[in-house]
Amino acid sequence: RGIVLQNSLVHENKKQEMEILIEELEYHLNISKSITTNIFFSLKHKFIPLLKNQIGSRLLQNYLPYTNTEIISLIYQELSDKLTFLLPDPYANYFCIKLFQNLSLKERISFLTNISNQNH
């Protein structure tokens, strides 16, 4: 019973952390109107849970088309080895589609190659 309660508290803590992260992200995106270098680096190791969250994924999708190509490349590099983990997720999948649409031709080929290689 103690373990169940502890797991419940951990889950609630993570949920609160995600809500705070999304609130801060939304604030900064509303000011900058794109994913900036500072925003990228503040999210560097938080992309996966953020993309698997409906609000977080949608928020990043909305600002991706206005984001500098160098930042889009950095996001792709951050996620490239996790694509087969992200694509089956209902929220992360939409972000991956939007990311793919904003990649350079060379990066699109890399994206498709990564998926192919990760599935074997």
What confidence tens digit (pLDDT) does each residue in 62-120 have? 999 999 999 999 999 999 999 999 999 999 999 999 999 999 999 999 999 999 987 76
Q: pLDDT value at position 118? A: 74
Coil/strand/helix, residue 69: helix
Question: Is 70 exceeded by the pLDDT of residue 1?
Answer: no
Cβ contacts of 100 within 8 Å, gap of 6 or more: 108, 111
Contact 82, 114 (CB under 8 A): no
pLDDT digits (tens, 9 = 90+) for 22-51: 999 999 999 999 999 999 999 999 999 999
